Amino acid sequence: MDNTLHSTQLISILLVEDSPADARLTCEALKDGKVANRIHIVDDGIKALAFLRRLPPYEHAPPVDIILLDLNMP
């Protein structure tokens, strides 16, 4: 089984970040790095858990490949 990601394969990323400026910077860095991705942004841990568990309002949330978590959130 080949587990390598090809450049055309989308990576689903959940970004948990409470700062809109830092979220924008992260998105720009991923774009500049030419990482093919679909990024989903939530601004706190409660929303992140709801997203991952597909609880309202995230019932149709896709599975994620990577979680980027701001460890300095209040």
| Whole-prediction pTM | 0.84
Which has the closest alpha carbon to 35: 67, 64, 6?
6
pLDDT one-digit tens code per residue, 46-66: 999 999 999 999 999 999 999
More confident residue, 57 or 34: 57
- Tell me the one-letter amino acid at 40: H
For the chain, what are the domain ranges? 15-69
For the chain, where are the E strands, in sequence order? 11-16, 37-42, 66-69
pLDDT of residue 6: 54
Q: What is the DSSP string of 11-22?
A: EEEEEE-S-HHH
